[in-house]
Chains A and B, each alone.
Chain A
Amino acid sequence: MKKTVSIAFASMLFISILSGCGYKNVNPGDVSGYDNGETYISMWVHTIEDTPEGQAYKKSVEQFNKKFDGTYFADLEFIPRNDSGGGYSDKINASVMSGDLPDVITVDGPNVAAYAANGIIQPLAELTETERSVYLDSILEQGTYNDKLYALGAMESSVGLYYNKAILREAGISVPDAENPWTWSEFTEILEKLKPVMSEKNGYPLDMTFPVGEASIYYYAPFIWSNGGDLISADGLNADNVFNSQENTETMQYFRSLVDNKYMSQAPVEKLFESGRAAFKFDGAWEVNTIYESYPDIELGVAPYVVSNNWNGERYTPTGSWAYAATSKTQNIDAATELVKWMSGTDSGVLLFENTKSMPSTYAAYDQITLFEEDENYKALYEQLRDYGHPRPKTPVYPQVSTSFQQALESVALSGKDAQKQLDKSVERINAKLERYTRK
């Protein structure tokens, strides 16, 4: 039967050759800028060229080639992707099979574990302590799997608990500092107090949804972590008694109480916060720029992320974004690492921020960008990321953990189903996907 399988692969390979994506052998002179004596490094990024993001990558690569002229030459290829990351990951999957991967690829943070566990990417060449120390802790944490550093972030990200200053002033509510965030019970009291105020404005205290896709786990896993829970065991290979722990049941019930008490709308209402009809909203760091540019009437503030009553001051806030990693195909790991370091470095980070307003991955970049000092909202987001950032679960079956979390959250919070039962069901599903890794 092995033979049939290999025939199948042979024919797949045949197809891929026919369709023109066979292995490319690039010689000096084939690509402009690639000269004799240089080491050729191919690289894929997850965007098209004609976006501000694509332009930033292009410029960074040009700077790299200039700096390492005569030693390395990086060749950048843009791979389009859709919102949910399809397209790009399909291309990676197909190339894994045909042995067609470039030397360096971009990986979304939560996928580092899956790619590492399946040998698609390899550990980077050893970084010195000084080299490591330029990166935010959350970046190093995200890129590490089984104690080895695989990836370095092109950028970081964060989620803010945004509030409408005018509304909170009107209700006489003051916002605590980052060391003393509101606890769940305090937050509930505030929401209760705001309910009559907001219903007068034909709105809700909270603009909150549990959307399908990556957003749900990204925004709301902090509630799990700050309650002492987790989504997967430390080795990333078991969900039982972790995903369905007593703590997580409580967390799910807290979300249910938000819906039950009508602190938020059960069906998502468009632009609730932006139109001044909600006091609070959870959203990505990009929301700051959106409000500044498109809704200047909203007086925006960033409150510290809410914590459970059992919080002990540990890291818990959202982090994670696209990172660079060297594939297992690359022959020259030192060259690939050099490129990864450059692309995730301070200059590239500043460039990317200028083009897209995405948060950089190195301390020095934050020091260079005055906005993170001058603007209180950007500053608050940066400090939250720096001091409290927590990576998403590191497990090879991350996609299943992410969808299971969203589905459990939706079933419990919106449809009022039994929390323990939903979480148990998720565990079954996650552990079924883990079999592949645990039986080895």
Chain B
Amino acid sequence: MKSKKSNSLMGMAFFGPALLLLTLFLFLPMILTLIFSFTDYFALSPDLTHFVGLENFSKIFKDELFSSAFWNTVKFVLIIVPAQSLGALGLALLINKVTICKKYFKVAFFIPVVMSLAVVSNLWMQIYSPEGILNTMLSHIGIDAQPFIYSSNQALPSIAIMSVWQGVGYQMIIFLGGLQAINPALYEAAEMDHASEWQKFKDITLPELKPLCVFVFITVTIGAFRMIVQPMIMTGGGPSHSTYTLVYDIYETGTVNWEIGLASAMAIVFTIFVVILTIIQTVTTKDKEGKYANKKTKNS
């Protein structure tokens, strides 16, 4: 009994500082955001704050800019999630097969991940510029110069592609770790049965990577929803708001226009949306995982 108590004290001693900091910098701000979202809190005159009920929320849903920011974000997610997840898997499979210079490839694909987003964005602005490297290459194969980030049709896909390039290395390393953890005996057994490469991939590699796939899928989705730095630096949300995202809208409302109350409400709506989406993702993927687990026990 005594040792249990001292154990828990010990635990608190380790846990306490972290909990205090978390409370200060995470939980309290979260609660404050929730409270502010029901007020007209204005950064320049905090004394005049009133409780306004759901007014902020009704404002948000009537706001054309917020809904266009919402759809832009969805478009980003729809491009980035499949491209980045599949890209990472593809790269991991390729690198896993490579025998020479494996380290080189790993590092080469991982470097963009450790680079600052601001640096990467500036780099790609050069690449996408009217007389940049990409347009020079295009002109060699007879394609006219493209405006890329300077056109309202091409800006969003251009930024999405750049984001995939920047982020794909991280998920690649995760997949690579997963691939190397697969028991080689499984492949040996498959070879005895004269399984084709595709069958091996479909029936061994993919099922073994399934839990990782779920993790990658969810983290990439949440990451894509939080898109702000790239459009902020490269296009300023333009042209014509075509790359204006939800988080960008929250930032502009709260810090540029000083409307903390409204921005807090936006953040709450955004959070609820992402939470719902994550729950849907978890539920749908869990179901399949369950089936797979059954199959596995049956087989063995």
Residue of A nearest to B29 (CB): A15
Contact A407 B241 (CB under 8 A): yes
Q: How far is the CB of B153 from chain A (nearest CB, A)?
A: 10
Contact B44 A93 (CB under 8 A): yes
Choose among B42, B51, B255, B256 the residue that contacts A5 (Cβ–Cβ < 8 A): B51
Is B43 among interface residues, defined by CB-CB distance under 8 A? yes
Chain B residue numbers with a CB within 8 Å of A119 are 45
Contact A212 B238 (CB under 8 A): yes
Q: How far is the CB of A97 from chain B (nearest CB, A)?
A: 5
**Interface size, B (range):** 35 or more
Chain A residue numbers with a CB within 8 Å of B236 are 211-213
Chain B residue numbers with a CB within 8 Å of A415 are 152, 239-240
Query: What is the CA–CA distance of A257 and B237 in the complex, to the nearest angstrom?
Result: 24
B-facing mask of A1-43, CB < 8 A → 1, else 0?
A: 1101100110110010010000000000000000000000000
Is B32 among interface residues, defined by CB-CB distance under 8 A? yes
Chain B residue numbers with a CB within 8 Å of A436 are 40, 42
Query: What is the CA–CA distance of A211 and B43 in the complex, to the nearest angstrom?
Result: 27
Is A399 among interface residues, defined by CB-CB distance under 8 A? yes
Contact A5 B35 (CB under 8 A): yes
**Interface size, A (range):** 35 or more
A-B contact count (CB 8 A): 91
Contact A12 B235 (CB under 8 A): no
From 31 to 68 in chain B, residues with beta carbon under 8 angstroms from any chain A beta carbon are 32, 35-36, 38-40, 42-46, 49, 51, 64-65
Contact A120 B239 (CB under 8 A): no
Chain A residue numbers with a CB within 8 Å of B24 are 15, 18
Q: How far is the CB of A401 from chain B (nearest CB, A)?
A: 11
Is B109 among interface residues, defined by CB-CB distance under 8 A? no
Is A245 among interface residues, defined by CB-CB distance under 8 A? no
Residue of A nearest to B43 (CB): A93
Query: What is the CA–CA distance of A1 and B50 in the complex, to the nearest angstrom?
Result: 9
A-facing mask of B209-238, CB < 8 A → 1, else 0?
A: 000000000000000000000000001111
Contact A267 B147 (CB under 8 A): yes
Q: Is the interface of B mostly helix, strand, loop or mixed?
A: loop
Is A420 among interface residues, defined by CB-CB distance under 8 A? no
Is B285 among interface residues, defined by CB-CB distance under 8 A? no
Residue of B nearest to A11 (CB): B28
Query: What is the CA–CA distance of A191 and B120 in the complex, to the nearest angstrom?
Result: 37
Contact A429 B65 (CB under 8 A): yes
Query: What is the CA–CA distance of A269 and B147 in the complex, to the nearest angstrom?
Result: 11
Residue of B nearest to A411 (CB): B240
Is B130 among interface residues, defined by CB-CB distance under 8 A? yes
Q: How far is the CB of A260 from chain B (nearest CB, A)?
A: 15
Is B136 among interface residues, defined by CB-CB distance under 8 A? no
Q: How far is the CB of B222 from chain A (nearest CB, A)?
A: 25
Q: How far is the CB of B63 from chain A (nearest CB, A)?
A: 9
Chain B residue numbers with a CB within 8 Å of A11 are 28, 32
Chain A residue numbers with a CB within 8 Å of B152 are 415
Is B191 among interface residues, defined by CB-CB distance under 8 A? no
Query: What is the CA–CA distance of A15 and B40 in the complex, to the nearest angstrom?
Result: 21
Binding site for A on B (CB under 8 A): 24, 28, 32, 35-36, 38-40, 42-46, 49, 51, 64-65, 129-131, 147-148, 150-152, 235-241, 252, 255-259
A-B contacts, 6 of them at CB < 8 A, read A4-B51, A8-B36, A399-B257, A407-B240, A414-B150, A414-B240
The 5 closest A-B pairs by CB, nearest first: A212-B236, A267-B150, A118-B44, A1-B51, A93-B43
